[in-house]
Amino acid sequence: MVQPIYKCVRCGCFVEEPVHCGVAARLLLDSADRLRISKLMSGLLRHFPQAAGLNLDREGYARIAELLKALREWRGGCLGWITQEHILAIASLDPKGRFEVAGDRIRASYGHSCRVEPCYPVVAKPGTLFHGTQAEKLSSIMRHGLKPIKRLYVHLTKTVDNAWETACRRSGTPIVLVVDGDGLVEAGFEVYKASEIIYLTRHVPPSFIKEIIWEW
C-alpha cells in the first residue's frame, strides 16, 4: 500500500512516518495524491513528454521547473497546487527508485518508451534476476525469449516480491521467470543497473530462463 509522505519539522527530511525526530511531522501528500502524481510523473518522463510540452535531453532529464509547470497545467490545472517540494519528496522516497534527481534536473530511472539514451552502469555479476509476466504469454516467451516490446529494455528485478507485484498488475495468471543474469553476461549480453532493484538488458533468450514460479 502506498504510504502518505510527511516532512519532519525538525530535520526537514521527507519521511513516511507521522512522527519523526520525536515530534509530529507535517503531512505533505496523502496516499491518493502521492500515487496520482507519481504515476503522472512517470508517464511524462517515460512515455509522453510531448503531450505536456516537456523537453527531455538525450539522457532523459527534464528541468524540474518545467516538469512542475507541466504537472500544474495538466488537464486544465487540476493539480495546480503542486510545488517543487512535492516532486522532490516523491522522487526521494520512491521504493523502486523510479526517479533520479541531479541538481535542477529530474529523469525517470528506467521504463522509457520514448527515445532517450540514459547512461547506465554495466554489471559484471548481476546474479539471479526475476521478471514478472503472465502465463498466457509463456509459450511465446519460451520460443522467442524476453524482448522490450514497447520499451527500450527488458526490465528485470532482484526480488521475487517486486516481480510478482509487476505480474499482478495486468490481467491474466501471474508468474515469475527466474533469469540467469550471470549467464547472460558470460554469453555477451550487457546487463545494466537502473536502480537498487531494477536491472535492464536488450534481450533474454529462452535458454537463460531457468525456472518458472507459479505461486508466491
Domain edges within the chain: 5-108, 128-213
- Residue tagged 488537464 (cell numbers): 75
User: Given a cut of 90, is residue 1 above it in pLDDT?
Assistant: no
Domain 5-108 CATH (choose: 1.10.3720.10, 3.90.700.10, 2.120.10.30, 1.10.10.970) = 1.10.10.970
Which H or E element spans position 64? helix 64-73
Which H or E element spans position 201? strand 198-201
pLDDT (tens digit per residue) in 90-118: 999 999 999 999 999 999 999 999 989 99
Q: What are phi and psi of 116, to 5 degrees?
A: -130, 170
Q: What is the pTM of this model?
A: 0.85
**Which CATH number does 128-213 carry?**
3.20.170.30
Residues 167/120/189/154 CA torsion (nearest 10 deg): 20
**How far, in Å, CA of 147 to CA of 161, rounded?**
21
pLDDT (tens digit per residue) in 40-67: 999 999 999 999 999 999 999 999 999 9
